[in-house]
Structure 1
Amino acid sequence: MRFLFLISVFLFIFAKGHSQNIKILEPSTNLPIAGAAIYNASKSKSTMSDIDGVANLSQFTSDEVLFIEHLLYISSSYVAADIANKTIYLRPNIEGLDEVVVSASKFQQSKRDIPQKIININAKSIAFSNPQTSADLLENSGNVFIQKSQMGGGSPMIRGLSTNRLLMTVDGVRMNNAIFRGGNLQNVISIDPFTVQNTEVTLGAGSVVYGSDAIGGVMSFYTQTPQLSYSDSLYFKGHVVGRYTTANKEKTGHLDFNLGIKKWAFLTSLSYTDFDDLRMGSHGPTDYIRPEYVQTSDGVDKVVPNPDPLIQIPTGYDQINFLQKIRYEPKEDWSFDLGLYYTTTSEYSRYDRLIRYKKDTLRSAEWNYGPQRWFMGNLQVTKLSSNSNLYDKIQSTVAYQNFQESRMDRDFNNTKRNIREEAVDALSFNLDLEKQLGKRMEFFYGLEYIYNQVLSTGMQEDIQTGISVPTVSRYPNGSDWQSMAAYTSLKFKPNPKFVLQTGIRYNHVMIHADFKENNDYLKLPFTTTKINTGAFTGTAGVNWNPNQTLNMRLNVSSAFRAPNIDDIGKVFDSEPGAVVVPNDDLKPEYAYGLEYGVKLNFENVFILDMATYYTHLDNTLVRRDFELNGASEIIYDGEMSTVQAIQNAAESRIYGFEVGMQVNFTKALKLKSHYNIIGGEEEGNDGEKKPLRHAAPQFGATHLIWQNNKFHIDGFVKYNAELSYNQLAPSEQNKDYIYALDANSNPYSPSWYTLNLRTQYEFSDALSLTASLENITDQRYRPYSSGIAAPGRNLIVAIKYTL
């Protein structure tokens, strides 16, 4: 088998070497340019460069003039004989390097036509930044703030909103499910950064295309596409990556390979990561150090001193990511894509719960998340050209997902371990269509159906006897959540300088939850609850480019979030001495937003991009004190606890300003900087105004970058402003165990900065080395609302070999 494989590869290379090929590269990086179109003057003959930037010219005569085009590069023309069997370079259009976006309409559009701000992160940037997880990938965008309660996590915040008010998609499939919560989420770490080809972060509402939850933004992850050979020869390519990180002794191995023939292609990817406990920095607040921890031996809990208080014990875990994709293209404009995704973590500790004290003793002996597992099967059928009166392009997507998570906690010197397990089965169907209505107008429309079923169990185990008994589950077992929607969107471009985009969506959501099992423990005044509600959302925006220097965009939008199973049926200890109980009287929350942006480009030497925004969130779903059967306190897990519930008890106002700058001193040397200012307040039904919980402090970064053909270096500073005690939301003021203490012994989030250096060197087309030294001055800091301190001085070394 191995012999046949080697023979196939040899024949493929031999065939390539004896045909009229050209190789198309980027001049500054020598990276191949895939998808460059090559055609003759009459456009009767054409071809396209493959993933290695190679295109075959055998169909053209030697004297034909060939035109080479790519949306991200300046077009050029050559005589075929002059470029046969040679390498050519396309000069980048700096303004258009990340010009094509998909997330705005499910089909490719020019970024300059979109009135919303969309951040692109491509595979090259991901490989250079070397993120440990996809949460770190998002943080590197500069516009997403990441909160972490433990090392196995990462909860994005965008423009003052987070968790279930932000939407995540993978290859166009909605990842948000019926138990996405208002508290911090870890689901983004299930996405393997090694498989991500491109990430698009839409800042602001995206409900017209994506429905419920897309209030603050949409994070769209697009994984690699299997590459066909488009010939009778075999196309093979693979990568092997090894990485080591000092702050948590990360050991990562990754392998992927692509097999392509004329109409079929197969892509396989496997990653394994092992993290040890995380070391924090040496210089910073002493409130963050870990002086002691609980150790259990023979069923006996003991508090033992930490030999190195900078090591956060326990925080280590490991993770496996697997991806299998198959692509079939029976015709040039038809494609069938099947994707199978699987991720699992080991059991890992929720670190912020393990550093809480009860009087003078650590409160918990253990507080662990069980393995977080995610599986998705996704089949997508796309036709990119049609003579139908109904559409020019059509895409149909059907997907099944299974999510599994669990929680295990036990108080210090208590033999009772509480175990709660959850699973969600999610089915979805999307139909998206595009129709050109004349030369100036494009029409997008589609349908969506989603069904989620939640399975949830509760168990209490005696660690000494091994006997387990049922207890209250986190969610009503067997509950379901359904969503049906239709949307339309119109793009009108009367001339190259002006674009109008507008759209409308109707979404209908139905929920059914049965509390019969949990009523044995909670004695709720109801046994079932149903929600049957609909919502219209709309958007309208303009993009104006009067000249090469100025771009202006204005966008108004509405968005919504329907209650889910987490909102109406959750039972959990939200904080020490408090328990959240179900509430069957909830309505959707609605957001109304306005965004205005200006971009100035002075000869591609100095570029300034600014945006300001305002969002009003009505009927805000928030956690507030509640009464259950007239009682404000109940016994939960053996402790008298204040009763709370999710309620439509507030309205929120969020505003902010973002600015980005780029100075291109030369082709090789550039300066990049960005800064984010976020503010707002939450006003309760009683008229009391409070700071927003998920409004991050002011944050930003400045990068000085130098790059030539083989060497890439980036020296940068990351910085974060302070949030004083009075600027913290009340729920954060109660979490003194995760914050530093000010002069009055009140919790606050200090300002911080880090100095960092990243480098990458390409020894050859096959071998590259990436090395980063982060937090050079070894600062000790915790990003706002995080329960774990960030890494101290951290050396990251990765070697990549292309097969």
Structure 2
Amino acid sequence: MKKYCLLALLVTTIFNLAFAETGRIEGFVLDTFGNPIPEVHVEIPKLNLGDNTDSEGHFNLTKVPKGKHKITFSHISFETKVLKNLKVQGSKNLGEITLEPRVIELEEFVVTATRNKKRTVDVSVPLNIVEQDVIQKRNAKTSAEALREETGVFIQKTNHGGGSAILRGLSSNQILLLVDGIKLNNSTYRLGNHQYLTTVDNNSIQRIEVVRGPTSVLYGSDALGGTINLLTQKPSLLTKDSEFQFSGKVNGRFASADQEKTTRAQFAVFNNKLAFQSGFSYKNYGDLKRGSFGGNSKLETSTNGKKQSPTGFDAIDFDGKMIYQFTESQSVILAHQTSRQFDVPRYDKYESGSNVLWVYKPQNRYLTYLNYENSLQNKFVKFLKASVSYQIQEEGRQTQKTVTSEIKKEKDETKTLGFTLQLNSNYENNFFTYGFDFYKDKVQSELKNYSAENVFLNQAARGRFPDDSDYKSFGIYLQDEIRFTEKFTTILGTRYSFFDTKFTIPFDSSATLNLGTVEQDFQSLTASVGFNFQAAKNVFLNANVGQAFRAPNLSDLAKLGESKGNTYEIPNTELEPEKMISFDAGFKTNFLKFKSDLSVFYAKVTDLIGSEDATFNGSETIDDSIKVKSKQNIGNAYLTGIESSFKYFFKGKTNLYGNLTYTYGQNTTLEEPVGGVPPMFGLLGFRFENESYSVDSFARFATKQDRLSEDDKDDSRIPEGGTPSWFTLNLRLGKNFGEHFYGQFSVENILDYNYREHGSGVNGSGRNFILSFEAKI
């Protein structure tokens, strides 16, 4: 008996000693909105010791040896989190552990291409998706510059506040811009490159979707070269009943080349039914310094040494968005956006010496919209989305030729009322998308003359556009997605569009263009077909045939005033719509280690609209130096090219990436190149990234563009003989400082190369040191 007692005492002693050397770790795993995450695998890899969280997000690791350990938290839908050197001695409660949602590239989705949420690999058309984290890592100054590293997207800048996208050789009002699915384009958008893309605050964007190629069937006029949809951030609702919660963040950006100082503050309050988010941005840009080395002597004409002066300006942005969830299937979104840019100089006018004053003043945009969504899921209608929007865009120009000449102050205001309705239905293997959109523009335009001392003198008979002009558009569309097999899908679509405009050109005894009241209408029937075939597990083949059109707008029909370069534009009410038929084919690969995209396209354009020589009061010039031009149907043309990209992953997120785009355009009527087509351009880069930091080094480049139209040759922004080739080397370093703070240091144009992107009115920045941060609450 004594022997057994001693043995029991020994076992108990050993057990107690062993237990004294181990401990326990517990806690809860939540998402960024405070919701518990079940099935998170919590593990100490070295010990092969783990546990999965329960429905409340709780985990409990027992028998953890005394000492320091590394613990990982992993879930397929969230970024893996690692806690290093966690000291364990007895019981330890980690409290709440927050995981960030993971963007899984394999399951990337797009809305714009089909008006429905689809996996990108299931969409036949070529496209670009730029997520919020990519926008942050690119550390771009504007929403336009956030796109300049994308395949097939070339960004032209008339001034430091500008940023106009060119897709497949087409730009300006031949590209459709959307913000949250609502048309940004209006009837005064000019054919020359512009700055409207930058009026959407890049700090407020959730993602940017770019569809390359015509999308007129779904969106109507202007969508010849493609469509860019800027989707702004919206607050998320909690998944279960809860009291209101709060989140916020502050970010900033500072750059050396233009002494930029920008900042944004944003906050959100939300529960499971109601969410509200609002943000405010302030932006201050100084005069931009160009590069010092290389380049071409024709690009060394800046007004103040390397400083391109004046190019600086200030801007503010404000946005607010509210979501209310009536039921599980019904919700409304009420949103407002304000963008104001102050005294934005058009630098090329100063550099050429044609003006002592040329600024955009004002440059404002105000948008308010209400969306209603209902996932009906009944026999006839699966989904319904309706919206009403009201947008005001104000653009003014203040110009003065010499210090003693008069100051001209122009102001154009376009008020746009919009209604859209979209429905989806299922029938067997068919998925239908159908609806209508209606937009009505009311345009106010004026021109006032002031003395050199800024004393009011008089008001001209008309402004840049006829005052009190109307422009209406209506379209009805139907799209049918037919899934023949799990691997083969066809999308058929058709659309009828109608446009109506009315304006009066007032009588002017000094001019011969007294056209009186003009009423015009245009209509078009377009169709498209797309094919997508999954040739292998991660290989997708696609082809598309699509029609597109652009109805002449007020800028084409009735504009009177200065235009690009040293030209003066007069009205022409005899225009016909531009029409296009486009063919493209390509493939996408989406392997775990390798992703690629290639598209070859050919587009034939008839009744192409462009600027051609004209006469005003019997003369081909004004003041013997300014050429008179008007918009004209200058004939037929074709555009062809190739767009390609790749990304190869070495380990984790570390990857080699690149893209290349080439476009060739020829006007077969005038036997000259299509104007404004960019040269071959692309980039090549290497990115290392882990949970803590990232290093991104890359080169951007473009070849020389000397294929110029006669209109290009009249553009003072393009050097004689064409735009020289260029390249820049760039570096970005990013660091996560815990869960709530991210910092980034970048160097653009490390070699300080002096260059200009084709068609731009300002050189690119010289060596530019950029510091940015984001702090979350």
Which TM-score band applies after superposition, normalised by the shorter structure? 0.7 to 0.9
Closer, same or farther: CA 91–254 of 1 in aligned 2, 3 Å: closer
Aligned to 2:342: 346
Cα gap change, 1:465/1:433 in structure 2, threshold over 3 Å: closer, same or farther? closer
What per-residue deviation string (whole Å, max 9, x for no partner) do you get for residues 403-424 of structure 1? 0011111112432111211000
Alpha-carbon distance in structure 2 between the residues aligned to 1:238 and 1:56: 29
Partner deviation per Cα, 1:108-130 (whole Å, 9 max, x = no partner): 12222211011100000011111
Match of residue 185, structure 2, among 169, 176, 186: 176
Quote the residue 2:427 is aligned against: 437
Pairwise CA distance, 1:20: 9.7
Shift of 1:634: 6.5
Contact residue 21 and residue 56 of structure 1 kept, 8 A: no
CA contact (8 A) 1:114 1:501 kept: no
Alignment of 1:336-485 (within 5 A): 336-356=332-352, 362-387=353-378, 389=380, 391-438=381-428, 440-464=429-453, 466-471=455-460, 472-485=462-475
Give the 3 Å change call, closer, same or farther, for CA 671–34 of structure 1 in structure 2.
Answer: farther
Q: Deviations over 1:730-786 (max 9, x none)?
A: 222223x4344xxxxx43211111111111100110111011111001000000011
1:765 is aligned to 2:763: no
Say which of 713, 717, 737 aligns to 2:699: 717
Q: Deviations over 1:15-72 (max 9, x none)?
A: xxxx996446xxxxxxx69999989xxxxxxxxxxxxxxx993599x9xxxxx98699
Equivalent position to 1:102, from 111, 114, 117: 111
Contact 1:610 1:660 in 2 (8 A): yes
Residue 289 (structure 1) aligned to one of 291, 300, 315: 300
Write the distance in 2 (CA, Å) between the matches of 1:716 and 1:793. 15
Tell me the residue number matched to 1:57. 55
Paired AA for residue 604 in structure 1: L
Q: CA deviation at 1:86?
A: 7.2
1:250-285 CA-partner distances (Å, limit 9, x unpaired):
001110011002311110010001000000011032
Distance 2:302 2:481 in 1: 59
Distance 1:521 1:152, change over 3 A: farther
Alpha carbons 2:612, 2:630 under 8 Å: kept = yes
Equivalence for 2:278: 268
For residues 290 and 91 of structure 1, the distance between their equivalents in structure 2, rounded to whole angstroms, comes to: 48
1:92-131 alignment, distance < 5 Å = 94-96=105-107, 99-131=108-140
Deviates more, 1:169-178 or 1:259-268: 259-268
**Contact 2:494–2:525 (CA<8 Å) still a contact in 1?**
yes
Stretch deviating more after TM superposition (133-142 or 269-278) = 133-142
For normalisation by structure 2, the TM-score amounts to: 0.87
1:322-337 paired onto structure 2 within 5 Å: 322-337=318-333
CA distance in 2, matches of 1:645, 1:189: 27
Q: Does the aligned pair in 1 maintain the 2:192–2:564 contact within 8 Å? A: no
Contact 2:216 2:224 in 1 (8 A): yes
TM-score (norm 1): 0.84
Per-residue deviation, residues 547-593 of structure 1 (Å, max 9, x unmatched): 11421000000011001111100011335664221111111111100
Matches within 5 A, 1:589-628: 589-601=578-590, 603-627=591-615
Amino acid at match of 1:253: T
Offset at residue 506 of structure 1 (A) = 0.4
Asked whether the 8 Å contact 1:588–1:619 carries over to 2, the reply is yes
Counterpart residue number, 1:669: 654
Residue 734 (1) aligns with residue 722 (2) = no
Q: Could you tell me which residue of structure 2 aligns to residue 543 of structure 1? A: 532
Is the 2:171–2:225 Cα contact (8 Å) retained in structure 1?
yes
| 1:344 to partner: Cα distance | 0.2
Structure 2 Cα separation of the partners of residues 406 and 669 of structure 1:
47
User: What do you get for the CA RMSD once the two structures are aligned?
Assistant: 2.8
User: Aligned residue for 1:47?
Assistant: none
- Native 8 Å contact 2:78 2:101 kept in 1: no
Contact 2:173 2:190 in 1 (8 A): yes
Counterparts of 1:172 and 1:488 in 2: how far apart (Å)? 17
How far residue 101 of structure 1 moved from its aligned partner, in angstroms, is 0.8
Question: How many equivalent residue pairs?
Answer: 710
Amino acid at match of 1:765: E
Structure 1 unaligned spans of 5+:
1-18, 25-31, 40-54, 63-67, 74-83, 293-305, 357-361, 741-745
- Structure 1 residue 89: Cα displacement: 9.4
Map 1:139-178 → 2, pairs under 5 A: 139-178=148-187
Match of 2:545 among 556, 567, 570: 556
Q: Distance in 2 between matches of 1:697 and 1:594?
A: 21
Question: Which amino acid is 1:149 matched to?
Answer: T
Q: Tell me the equivalent position of 1:566.
A: 555
Tell whether the 8 Å contact from 1:35 to 1:70 is kept in structure 2 after alignment: no
CA contact 1:72–1:93 (8 Å) conserved in 2: no
Distance 1:444 1:38, change over 3 A: farther
**Of 447-456 and 225-234, the range deviating more from structure 2:** 225-234
The equivalent residue for 1:799 is 773
TM superposition shift of 1:88: 7.9
1:4-83 to 2 correspondences below 5 Å = 22-23=29-30, 57=55
Query: Match for 1:738: what amino acid?
Result: R
Any gaps of 5 or more consecutive residues in structure 2? 1-25, 40-52, 61-74, 81-94
The structure-2 alpha-carbon separation of the partners of 1:789 and 1:470, relative to structure 1 and needing over 3 Å to count, comes to same
Contact kept, 8 Å, 2:410 with 2:463, in 1: the verdict is yes
| The one of 608, 629, 633 aligned to 2:620 | 633
Aligned in 2, Cα 1:107/1:92: closer, same or farther, shift over 3 Å?
Answer: closer
